[in-house]
Structure 1
Amino acid sequence: MEIEIGRGKRGRRAYGFDDIAIVPSRRTRDPEDIDISWEIAGHRFELPLMASAMDGVVDPKLAIELGKFGGLAVLNLEGIYTRYADTGPILDKIASLSKEEATRGLQEIYNKEPVKEELIAQRIKEIKAGGVLAAASFTPQKVDTYYKIALEAGLDFLIIQGTVVSAEHVSTQVEPLNLKKFINELEIPVIVGGCASYSTALHLMRTGAVGVLVGVGPGAACTTRRVLGIGVPQATAIADAAAARMTYLEESGRYCHVIADGGMRTGGDIAKAIACGADSVMIGSPIAGTKEAPGRGHHWGMATFHPTLPRGTRVYAGQRCTLEELLLGPARENDGTLNLFGALRTSMATTGYQNIKEFQKAEVMVAPSLQTEGKVLQQAQRVGMG
């Protein structure tokens, strides 16, 4: 439904996770009978989870730990782990920066040292030595320069990731990466993103990618919506990408996975993302708050240290739980921020859906956000109606 913004502009109504609720079906199920596993490119994961390619979230050690729990962590191959051999002092320095110093300090740290080819290979080998699959990301601008080193080191999944990635980049300055040609010539599966609309998701799917990342600006560490004015509320963005997936399946016979990227803090958010059509989720901030995360409780996005137009901030998430408590419990808080995938399993059981594919078809209802409800209640109390 389009709404008139003014005489010369109309816009669609869009919804975030707080604006929708999952409707129970006519049956319920035993949580032990629920299957929340995810299969992509011939690989099966016990959890429909990817960890964001953020230096404060994923290092080789966390990638191994998360892999053992049944998820897939993505290492940023243009970050500090491929610029510095010893990252401990660097992470300590980032954590010690004041709020006022953070952005400039990150710019100095990342621009001081270039990406080193030998460290790309070393980090991937470290993950593989832990007995789990290795996934790593490059930006579209750098992937052609470094991907062969990563492949030779044993990379299993390549993620081509940026703030916004399109299948048709136009430039008069440089020869743009031909995503379709590039992906079709690779021997390993490729996931691309981010995107936030039906048309962009469909074009990315047509490149041959096995998955698309959906989300522009919803993450806690991202300021893209403020800096550039770009973004789509996540519930609508995921539903649009899911519609593109059906169009692509009908025209090609291939299934491309939709991965909700960012904006999820609770088990309820993850459940809503899948109910809107996601096959899996990518989260960063919740993992950054675990004791195993490398960022000393901090995390920051890939564009935070951009030399001329940073689009992100360093966020302090604390170190409030272990990775196991975050993912599988037990939860010692009742706010939905722990035991995320136990919550997903319970949500599916309560609404009667046995697996992820079924849950994508769940009925959802547009509802007032909790924030809006709170404001209405406060207003009613002020005028004597509460």
Structure 2
Amino acid sequence: MPETVEIGLGRDARRGYHLDEVALVPTRRTRGSSVVSTAWQIDAHTFELPLVAAPSDAVVSPSTAAEIERLGGLAVLNGEGLWARYEDPAQALASIVDESGCSTSTLQQLYAQPVSSELLARRTSELQAAGIRVAVRLSPQHTVALSPAVLKAGVDLLVIQGTVISAEHVGSDDAADDALNLKTFIADLDIPVLVGGVTNYQTALHLMRTGAAGVIIGYGAHSGSTTHSALGIDVPMATAIADAAAARRDYLDETGGRYVHLIAYGDITTGGDIAKALVCGADAVMLGEALAGAAEAPGGGRYWDPTASHPRVPRSALVDLGVDPGDRPSLAELLLGPTADPSGERNLFGSLRRVMAKCGYSSVKEFQKAELIVTCLR
């Protein structure tokens, strides 16, 4: 039975665990890091790192997408971001990066420029011409209107992502042309679709039943997130991932073997966080703020996600990572090392390989069986 606590007479709440409240317990014979594989595969696409770069304009541009793929990961371009709103987003980015007092209202003004379907299709084609796997994120509210442009341009993976998503998003007045029914929408596509975020077992199971190839767990909580204050929503990631993994097991039985990948997104900043997310049941992690300090990142050492520019209810703030321009590490150092930084925030996947070896596992699927212990840090 799930652990519950009484918060008042007749009202119980379930206990949830964050990643920093659990730890790994090595219980098997160790092995050398050289025999460990961090590769994962979704549909026909194989990646050397279990990494999905978050669809933030601070992290993913057409040029960084190519570099992230070269290093072994998958980058997701925000289909409703600056690259789909401006012919040349350099000036808009400079307004964010160079303005010391850049505020939420500045972000709202910049993102008030309408998304251009023509620009979005062109960016998709440019990524495809670079010879990389093309992944584009759309919000549930705008998927019906914008997806034809990216699908026609040749996207390889479509990401439908919001703070919280359901199997059917209904727009204003329940208009038929304004509704997104994921089950019918995905059934008409011949490319894998990733959907999220979700926070619990039931929603994860519903989204798996739509035919999604992957489900994103969490809403991308980071140091500037205010979703817990603005909406009262928080996601204890260790519990949320484990719940989704339970939903996947039940869905495997229900379908006779259809496997849905889980991507953990939120409160993941170190190699240890990545390792714990995988052991809880994730197949890969989605990283945003953790990559924003890279020298190649278009945000220039600042981080913001799509919720920061919401025109009515912004749910995160612009974060200045405080990294001196001359000290910003390369994406290669952040992801693969080597590094002289002992914090765990660099050489993220080198750290993952090492802990997999110390726990005695040679693949990500095997590593999901590693033992966890509750440390109750909070």
1:57-102: CA deviations, max 9, x gaps?
1011000100111100000011111100111111010123344x41
Identity of aligned residues (%): 51
1:317-350: CA deviations, max 9, x gaps?
2352100000000111111011000000000000
Which residue of structure 2 lines up, in the alignment, with residue 365 of structure 1?
Answer: 373
Given that 1:304 and 1:313 are in contact with CA atoms closer than 8 Å, whether structure 2 keeps it comes out as yes
Which residue of structure 2 lines up, in the alignment, with residue 377 of structure 1?
Answer: none
Equivalent in 297, 300, 306 of residue 304 of structure 2: 300
C-alpha distance in 2, partners of 1:9/1:105?
A: 42
Which residue of structure 2 lines up, in the alignment, with residue 69 of structure 1?
Answer: 71
Structure 2 residue 129 is matched with structure 1 residue 103: no
Given that 2:141 and 2:169 are in contact with CA atoms closer than 8 Å, whether structure 1 keeps it comes out as no
Measured after TM superposition, the shift of residue 125 of structure 1 is 1.6
C-alpha distance in 1, partners of 2:41/2:25?
A: 26
Change (3 A) 1:9 1:217: farther
Equivalent in 220, 223, 236 of residue 223 of structure 2: 220
TM-score normalized by structure 1?
0.93
Equivalent in 337, 356, 359 of residue 351 of structure 1: 359
C-alpha distance in 1, partners of 2:28/2:195?
A: 37
Given that 2:78 and 2:136 are in contact with CA atoms closer than 8 Å, whether structure 1 keeps it comes out as yes
- Two-structure CA RMSD over aligned residues (Å): 1.3
Which residue of structure 2 lines up, in the alignment, with residue 333 of structure 1?
Answer: 341
TM-score normalized by structure 2?
0.95
Equivalent in 9, 12, 20 of residue 11 of structure 2: 9
Given that 1:218 and 1:234 are in contact with CA atoms closer than 8 Å, whether structure 2 keeps it comes out as no
Segments of structure 2 that go 5 or more residues without pairing to the other structure are none
Which residue of structure 2 lines up, in the alignment, with residue 381 of structure 1?
Answer: none
Equivalent in 264, 271, 277 of residue 267 of structure 1: 271
Segments of structure 1 that go 5 or more residues without pairing to the other structure are 373-386
Structure 2 residue 251 is matched with structure 1 residue 248: yes
C-alpha distance in 1, partners of 2:340/2:301?
A: 19
Equivalent in 231, 254, 261 of residue 257 of structure 1: 261
1:182-236: CA deviations, max 9, x gaps?
0110111100000010001110111000000001352234211111001221111
Equivalent in 291, 315, 329 of residue 295 of structure 2: 291
Partner SS, residue 174 of structure 2: coil
Which residue of structure 2 lines up, in the alignment, with residue 379 of structure 1?
Answer: none
Given that 2:162 and 2:219 are in contact with CA atoms closer than 8 Å, whether structure 1 keeps it comes out as no
Which residue of structure 2 lines up, in the alignment, with residue 148 of structure 1?
Answer: 148
Amino acid at match of 1:144: V
Change (3 A) 1:59 1:42: same
Partner SS, residue 304 of structure 1: helix
Structure 2 residue 278 is matched with structure 1 residue 278: no
Structure 2 residue 167 is matched with structure 1 residue 159: no
Measured after TM superposition, the shift of residue 124 of structure 1 is 1.1
Equivalent in 231, 235, 240 of residue 238 of structure 2: 235
Given that 2:218 and 2:265 are in contact with CA atoms closer than 8 Å, whether structure 1 keeps it comes out as yes
C-alpha distance in 2, partners of 1:352/1:22?
A: 12
Query: Which region of structure 1 is more displaced relative to structure 2, 287-296 or 214-223?
Result: 214-223
Given that 2:220 and 2:265 are in contact with CA atoms closer than 8 Å, whether structure 1 keeps it comes out as no
Partner SS, residue 173 of structure 1: helix
Structure 2 residue 39 is matched with structure 1 residue 31: no
Given that 2:68 and 2:75 are in contact with CA atoms closer than 8 Å, whether structure 1 keeps it comes out as yes
Measured after TM superposition, the shift of residue 172 of structure 1 is 6.6
Given that 1:216 and 1:230 are in contact with CA atoms closer than 8 Å, whether structure 2 keeps it comes out as no
Query: Which region of structure 1 is more displaced relative to structure 2, 229-238 or 314-323?
Result: 314-323
1:129-167: CA deviations, max 9, x gaps?
221100010001111111111011110000000010011
C-alpha distance in 2, partners of 1:49/1:309?
A: 29
C-alpha distance in 1, partners of 2:169/2:6?
A: 31
Which residue of structure 2 lines up, in the alignment, with residue 116 of structure 1?
Answer: 116
C-alpha distance in 2, partners of 1:191/1:10?
A: 33
Given that 1:97 and 1:105 are in contact with CA atoms closer than 8 Å, whether structure 2 keeps it comes out as no
